[in-house]
Amino acid sequence: MDYSNLRRAMTVAATAVVAGVLVVGCEPGGGKGPDTGAASPVIPTAKATPHTTEPTTEAPTVPAGTAKPKHAAPKCGISDLKVTPGHQPAKHPEGTGTGAAVVGFANTSAHPCTVKGFVTVGGAGNGSPDHNVPFTATHIGTASTVTLAPGAHAWTKLTFVQVQGEGDGYCVSGSTPRSYPTVVLGVPGAGHHQTAMDDGVFAECEDTVKVTALSATKPS
């Protein structure tokens, strides 16, 4: 028997077996199935951390040029005002009576205050406001708020039906002229104020009067 050939044959067979084992060991999954390709590497991802925005405590912004509201001046009270004597203006009806009188109301308080509207007028009978005779008034102009600083005046003009003639005079209508040493003027919301003319008396006819709205401008 040729042992050399037998040894070569066994060596070849053993080599083939070892080679087969090596091939099987290199297959993915330990050779349990066909190659399905290389696996993709898994890249760890960082967990997102929620971000909470804390509420702000900033004050609301004020648009540029917006002024803070100012407190309105209060209405004048009776104690805030002092009436001036009546003065006959340059412009008055022709005649021998008063014709017209300009009267002012001064703010004697230490703070601004307001007046608005038309004064009421009454002739003070016997010089007493308790016996005044209300005049029928016609309003001239438009009422608007007048703000009076301390010491400032609001003005009104009273125009009467003029007395004609000399002596006691007469009224064109035929009625009897009237004369009052003083008149009582009612300022809306600020009480009644009694005043006289700075020269003479209030002489008029019909107990009617035209009254201009209170104004910061002195009438002529």
What residue numbers bound the domain in which 191 lies?
Answer: 78-212
Quote the distance between the C-alpha of residue 202 and its chain's center.
44
Q: Output the pLDDT for position 199.
A: 94
pLDDT tens readout for residues 164-204? 998 889 999 999 999 999 999 999 999 999 999 999 999 99
Tell which residue, 119, 115, 203, 201, has the closest CA to residue 157.
119
Together in a domain, 11 and 106: no
Burial 99-127 (b: 16+ CB within 10 A, else e): bbbbbbbbbebeebbbbbbbbbbbbbbee
- What rounded mean pLDDT belongs to the chain? 80
- Which residues does 147 contact at the CB level (< 8 Å), separation at least 6? 73, 112, 113, 114
* Cβ atoms < 10 Å from Cβ of 213: 19
Q: What is the CATH number of the domain that holds 174?
A: 2.60.40
Terminal CA-CA length for the chain: 163
Does residue 122 sit within a domain? Answer: yes
Q: Are 88 and 217 in contact (CB under 8 A)?
A: no
Which one of 7-21, 48-62, 93-107 scores highest in mean pLDDT?
Answer: 93-107
Report the DSSP beta bridge partners of residue 43: none
Q: Output the pLDDT for position 202.
A: 95
Q: Output the pLDDT for position 62.
A: 45
State what percent of residues in the chain have pLDDT above 70.
66
Q: Output the pLDDT for position 56.
A: 52
Together in a domain, 21 and 88: no
pTM of the model: 0.67
Does residue 108 sit within a domain? Answer: yes
What's the rounded mean pLDDT across residues 144-150?
98
Q: How confident is the model at residue 132 (pLDDT cuts 50, 70, 90)?
A: confident
User: pLDDT at residue 34 above 60?
Assistant: no
User: pLDDT at residue 24 above 80?
Assistant: no
Give the span between the Cα atoms of 131 and 100, in whole angstroms.
22
Does residue 218 sit within a domain? Answer: no
Q: Output the pLDDT for position 139.
A: 98
Domain count of the fold of the chain: 2
